[in-house]
Amino acid sequence: MTLTSSTGNWSMLSQNFSQSELPTGIDLLWARFGLLGGRLQHRTSRYMALASRVLDLQKEIETYTDAALKDRTKQLQAIFRRGRDTLEVRLEAVGIVREVARRLRNEHPYKVQVAGAIAMLEGNIIEMATGEGKTLTASLTGTLYGWRGRGCHIITVNDYLAERDADSMRAIYEFCGLTVGFVTGAMEPQQRRAAYQCDITYLTNKEVTADFLRDQLAMGRQRGLSESLLKKIMDGAGTNTDQLVQRGLGAAIVDEADSVLIDEAVTPLIISGDGGNKLEAETYVEACKIASEFTPTEDYRKNDQYREIELTRAGENRLAKMIEAAQGVWAGFRRSEELVVGALVAREFYENGKQYIIDDDKVVIVDEATGRLMPDREWRDGLHQAVTAWENLEVQPPKDTFARMSFQRYFRLYPTLCGMTGTAREAAGELWDIYRRAVVKIPTNKPCIRKTLPQLTYRTQSAKIAAITEIVQQYHDEAKPVLAGTRSVKASNVLAAGLDDIALGNYQLLNAVNHKAEAEIIAQAGQSAAITVATNMAGRGTDIKLARGVADIGGLRVLLTERHESKRVDRQLQGRCARQGDPGETLSFASLDDELLIRHAPWLRNLLAMLSKFPTRSPERQAKPISGPLLWLVNLTFKYAQRRATQKAFSQRKGVLKTDTWLDEMLGFSGKQT
């Protein structure tokens, strides 16, 4: 039996459905049946059994000389290039690459890493705990994909990790006869082209999608290489293929797959250029001046959950009077209403330190899913200009959009797609519906001994911050390292101020501004008595190793200072401790003032706030965590809010998928030719 015969039909099913619409009705039931079939076929026990077979080959492989090992890699590369690889050949190939890693890097991939590599070879998303060696696992899979000769893109979360991982795994790939490169934001087109010509290319989702869009623009109306060459033969004119940097889409291995394929899926990557004029920029400034005279409730109602503004009848009348004698764009009521509502949305729902920061007198967007800065992006539909106007900064006209594509649409173009992450099981249904990729949970190499303490919920934000600083002080006095994760830049600054108030200033504050410094700081978070305050995604991809003696006092303490909209993100932060059998402990904090409740369970939150004040208690008692019968209702409310937030985010992604399908069907510009 070969892998081609045992999984070929399944892979073909995945590929055929990768460009399909999101199923509904009976089709949705059939898709769920397919998900069940995927789970049965791609089950953990199967891959662990295959990994055992690889380990059984190891005694023989270890007897190879370096020359014999290299000769065998050349033979295997030829077999994979011709598509003649069977199950036995693939298992041997994984074993060969495993031995190469041992000899060159003194790293012998564990059985669970081998199982993860095989699972990804069959197009799955693997859930592998933090610290289990996903980078090395990806090199096993990447080598076999590279041998096919179509190129393999390994997607990382930032430029620093792309360069670091390419350099660290280079020796393995080159021994196996492959070339490896990386792409970062600062590279010129010729450097990018050289990197894409390599068998293995490390880069971020943003860079690979942007290069794809730029290539589409360079091709213009030509739908592919064959059409371009025919045009050259017929017209005798040169083609624009020399402007392209990519060589086509072969295989992709997505690190932190849940973040890229789910959390950032609907984020549009836009190629834009200068557009508009100064008068257009001044329009947004004028809109903010008009909006400043509008008052909540009386002139407009706001919806915190959907971040929407609706003018009341009084607000509409006020606006009509203000533009009564206006000319130009303000002469029309509907356009004027759009501008003013947009300005009110910017004022009510976009806050410095949460959705953006001010850097060099410019508004820089903060990715709410990752906490990282996005200096090259702007919000659409005048929102960026409105936020800039409220900050009294110079407003630039909106840019013209030349091409755009969501990450969700882009990654569905790969004929071979797989990935890895520490948190995927909650998104298994969505990963199947949208990408037709099953989730395989890979066990840890050593038993996880992490302690998860019950959540402490406080009535107010200030009481919660005071409690967090107190526990940090306690851990610090006991020489225990602490990593406190926050939802936003502003929240991290608030917590830092609380630590300053108790004279605990020897902490590291990480707002995810510099990726290299971010990784270095996170790597030191396991030192004795270390205090690290970071946004939720800061340093992701970097292991936290415990200093000598820290394991004896219980390991790293991870504090979740606020519930996130997705339970997966909470688990991502919890997974930063207790790696590879190390001890560790996590403790969650929450308050009735948290954004999760305000946005997704406002009426329940108001009810809880009212109930928590009765019977009348002393200020000291009010500052303590909620307990008793009310605690059960509080915990249930947080679960409800998190579930609603997750469902809303999924609905948004479904809407984007429908738009993507429409673009493929109705517009001439389509990426399907790759």
Same domain, 82 and 123: yes
Residue type, 118: I
pLDDT reported for residue 668: 47
Same domain, 308 and 160: no
- Per residue in 501-556, pLDDT (tens digit) is 988 878 998 875 555 677 778 888 999 999 999 886 655 667 888 999 999 999 99
Q: Transcribe 409-439 into DSSP letters.
A: HHHTT-SEEEEEES--GGGHHHHHHHH---E
Q: Are residues 429 and 462 in the same domain?
A: no
**Does residue 605 contact residue 598 with C-beta atoms inside 8 Å?**
yes
321 shares its domain with 437:
no
In a shared domain, residues 257 and 319: no
- How big is the chain, counted in residues? 674
Segments in the chain below pLDDT 70:
1-42, 221-241, 275-276, 369-371, 512-516, 536-541, 615-618, 663-674
Phi-psi category of residue 615: left, alpha or beta, with phi > 0 → left and psi -120 to 50 → alpha: beta
Contact 204, 255 (CB under 8 A): no
- Do residue 287 and residue 231 come from a single domain? no
Nearest Cα to Cα of residue 44 among 443, 430, 422, 446: 443
* One-character DSSP codes across 467-497: HHHHHHHHHHHTT--EEEEESSHHHHHHHHH
Q: Residue 662 and residue 668: Cα distance in Å, rounded?
A: 11
* Cβ–Cβ < 8 Å for 421, 552: no
3-state DSSP assignment of residue 173: helix
Q: What is the pLDDT of residues 293-322, one digit of tens each?
A: 999 999 999 998 788 999 999 999 999 999
Q: Is residue 241 part of a domain?
A: yes
Domains held by the chain: number: 3
Instruction: For residue 619, count other CB atoms closer than 10 A to its CB.
Output: 7
* Domain-embedded: residue 2: no
HSE-up (13 A, CA, CB side) for residue 94:
31
Residue 602 lies in a domain: yes
| Final residue before a domain boundary, out of 387, 418, 441 | 441
667 is a domain residue: no
Same domain, 138 and 237: yes
CB-based burial label for 659 (10 Å; 0-12, 13-18, 19+): middle
Same domain, 112 and 250: yes
Domain carrying residue 345? 275-398
Q: Which of 398, 430, 457 is the last residue of a domain?
A: 398
Angle formed at CA 490 by CA 488 and CA 491, multiple of 5 degrees: 65
Same domain for 455 and 548? Answer: yes
Q: Is residue 137 part of a domain?
A: yes
| pTM as predicted | 0.86
Are both 254 and 377 inside the same structural domain? no
CATH number at 189 reads 3.40.50.300
Backbone angles phi, psi at 253, to 5 degrees: -115, 115
Q: How far apart are CA 533 and CA 486, in angstroms?
A: 7
CA atoms within 13 A on the CB side of 493: 10
Distance, CA of 69 to CA of 174 (rounded, Å): 13
Q: Is residue 470 part of a domain?
A: yes
Is 15 a domain residue?
no
For residues 661 and 434, give the distance between their C-alpha atoms in angstroms, rounded to a whole number.
12
463 and 419 assigned to the same domain = no
- End position of a domain, from candidates 416, 441, 466: 441
Tokens 């809407």: give the residue: 655
Domain with 314 in it: what CATH number?
A: 3.90.1440.10
- The answer as to whether 551 is a domain residue is yes
Q: Are residues 420 and 486 in the same domain?
A: no
